[in-house]
A and B are shown apart, each in its own frame.
Chain A
Amino acid sequence: MNIAERPRILLVDDDAAITDALAAFLGRSGFDVRVAEDGRIGLLEVTRDVPDLVVCDVLMPHVDGREFVRQVRARQLWLPIILLTQVGESWERSAALDEGADDYLNKPFDPHELISRIRAVLRRTAQGAGSLRTAVRLQAGTLLLDRTARRVWRGADEVALTPKAFMLLEYLMLHPQEVHSRERLLSTLWGFEFATSSRAVDHRIAELRRALGDNHAETRLIETAQSMGYQFTARVGGA
């Protein structure tokens, strides 16, 4: 896929007020946009002409967003999908409900945020990192994370983590070499974002660094991006 051209996006939502406005905005931002009015039409469109990426609402009549993802994957189509989820759904809950989407965004969202997610997901897909999504185990150097068993090893030693720290590590490893702001991690992973709560992320990063012994600046897995947030810098492979 050549993302230097205008990437082709399929927008699936049953609310015309949203598709009209978003299609115009995405078009202006350099994307080639098609619209489907619900999941059933979305499936027809995907099969007829596979787009580079799908942005799909979760709550729709006939075929809802999750069913849409399942059916697309059942057709052996691995194109990236971003789901527009319900407020209050943390990434963990969304991911548990559905294992096939590449990213999630809560309505109502900042349209610019949607653009940056689309670009990040397209970049990831182009680099082949999209395949991590289906991997049961993630590996980076001597660090191994088992997504099904919810366990982590550093070399031969198992690392004990709180559920939140595990969730954060899994997310960072699934989205390597991307800077994630605290606010974004909080809203995506924790499912709550009150103005003053961004220290919750710092607490878990501190726990991860302690538990993983990730304290040497030269060999660090998780980097702090100056006042911006965090990123997982090591290369991650599926195992």
Chain B
Amino acid sequence: MTRATDVTLGVLTAVPIVTCAAVAGTMLLTGDPRILAIDLALPAGVAIVGVAVSVLPLSALLARRGRARATARLAESHAAAAQAAASQARADHRRFLARLDHELKNPLTAIRATAVAAQGGDESDAWRTVDVQATKLSTLVRDLRKLAELESRPLETETVVLEDLLNEAIEALVDQQPAARGRVTLSVTRVPWAVPPLPLDLDLISLAVDNVLSNAAKYSARGPIEVRLREHEGWALIEVADAGRGIPAAELPFVFDELARAQNARDVSGSGIGLSLVTTVMRLHGGDVSIRSAEGAGSLVTLRLPLHRIR
């Protein structure tokens, strides 16, 4: 309620009291002898008393309801503001990465060209190290930029059968990492609710699934890797579980951050881009990703996709 309304209500409250008090005072001083007598039947009197007594708690009740509505409105606007702030933060981040990438690309091109031009055939050539490291840096910056770009990339959806996609992803994983052969199993729950074909961006979902699968293989040298697909309360769930090294509890909250790498993962090569990529892909599809992990026991990554997309 605005300040003007408050003032108006104040005036409307004060004017009748003051006016009537003044009139009554004048009447009293002038010795007005008139009397107002009201004839009232007892049932009507009782009813009026009832109403009068009820008005008090009723107004309290209405005031409480009003306050609750105001609180809800406030919470709603807070949530909207938080969401706007989050998407603003993502946009700022995206712009920053684009600028960083832009400023780095010319120096990196020059360094790589110089290193390649200067290289002799010698294996211990220092220029070779420069070349390799500059290439690494190029890839990292490029991946970060691409990751930021994904946020604003329009989805190109087509009908995707997740079971086929998972079978293909497992095959590709085993091709790439033969050590994983025989360890990966896929189980699909079809009865009574099967996951229907879904409109998804095939390239992006494959990217997300490949990432999660390859993590499972990378961080578990032995033991089974179970991939499960099922429907659950309007969502398609893809679970990838491994019996690997797991993630230390203290680092679990940060695994989805860009460039985050757990302390116990230093010996395995990786950029720390993967899981934030997965998060972005899932968010673009209206889904999400979550992880449960225990150090030394293994990890369970769950990808959720809505069966009915609300846009």
Residues of A within 8 A of B (CB): 15, 17-18, 20-22, 24-25, 28, 86-88, 107-112, 162-164, 190, 192-194, 196-197, 199-200, 203
Residues of B within 8 A of A86 (CB): 102
**Residues in chain B within 8 A of chain A (CB atoms):** 101-102, 104-114, 116-117, 134-135, 138, 142-143, 145-146, 149-150, 156, 158, 168-169, 172, 202-203, 206-207, 210-211, 214, 273, 277
Partner of A196, one of B105, B112, B207: B207
- Residue pair A109, B109 in contact (C-beta under 8 Å): yes
A212–B113 alpha-carbon span in the complex (Å)? 42
15 A-B pairs whose Cβ atoms sit less than 8 Å apart in the complex: A18-B106, A18-B113, A22-B117, A88-B146, A108-B138, A109-B109, A109-B112, A111-B112, A111-B113, A162-B156, A164-B203, A197-B207, A199-B169, A199-B210, A200-B202
- Tally the A-B contacts, defined by beta carbons under 8 Å: 93
Q: How far is the CB of A152 from chain B (nearest CB, A)?
A: 17
Task: Determine whether the beta carbon of A24 is less than 8 Å from that of B117.
Answer: yes
Q: How far is the CA of A163 from the CA of B211 in the complex (A)?
A: 25
Q: Which residues of A contact B101 (CB under 8 A)?
A: 87
Q: Which residues of A contact B111 (CB under 8 A)?
A: 21
Known A24-B117, A111-B117, A192-B146; judge A197-B109 contact (CB<8 A): no
A20, A87, A108, A200: the one contacting B112 at CB < 8 Å is A108
Measured CB to CB, the closest approach of chain B to A71, in angstroms, equals 24
- Contact pick for B211, options A25, A87, A162, A196, CB 8 Å: A196
Which residues of chain B are near A108, meaning CB under 8 Å? 104-106, 108-109, 112, 134, 138, 142
Residues of B within 8 Å of A22, CB to CB, are 113, 117
Contact A111 B149 (CB under 8 A): no
Do residues B116 and A200 form an inter-chain contact, with CB atoms below 8 A?
no
Q: How far is the CA of A109 from the CA of B172 in the complex (A)?
A: 27
Give the shortest distance, in Å, between B307 (CB) and chain A (any CB).
Answer: 23
Closest 9 CB pairs of A and B: A21-B113, A25-B117, A17-B110, A108-B108, A21-B114, A196-B210, A108-B109, A200-B203, A107-B105
- Of A22, A86, A87, A193, the most chain B CB neighbours within 10 A belong to A87
Write the nearest CB–CB distance from A8 to chain B, whole angstroms: 19
With A24-B114, A193-B142, A200-B203 known, 5 other A-B pairs at CB within 8 A are A20-B110, A87-B145, A162-B156, A199-B172, A199-B206
Contact of B145 among A15, A28, A88, A203 (CB under 8 A): A88
CB pair A190–B203 under 8 Å, yes or no, is yes
State how many angstroms separate the Cβ of B204 from the closest Cβ of chain A: 9
Provide the residues of chain B in CB contact with A17, threshold 8 Å.
106-107, 110
Of listed A18, A163, A194, residue having the most chain B CB within 10 A: A194
Q: A22–B113 Cα gap in the complex (Å)? A: 6
Residue from B104, B112, B135, B202 with most neighbouring chain A CB atoms (10 Å): B112
**Bound complex: CA A24 to CA B134 (Å):** 18
- Residues of chain A contacted by B168 (CB below 8 angstroms): 199
The reply to whether B146 and A194 form a contact with Cβ atoms under 8 Å apart is: yes
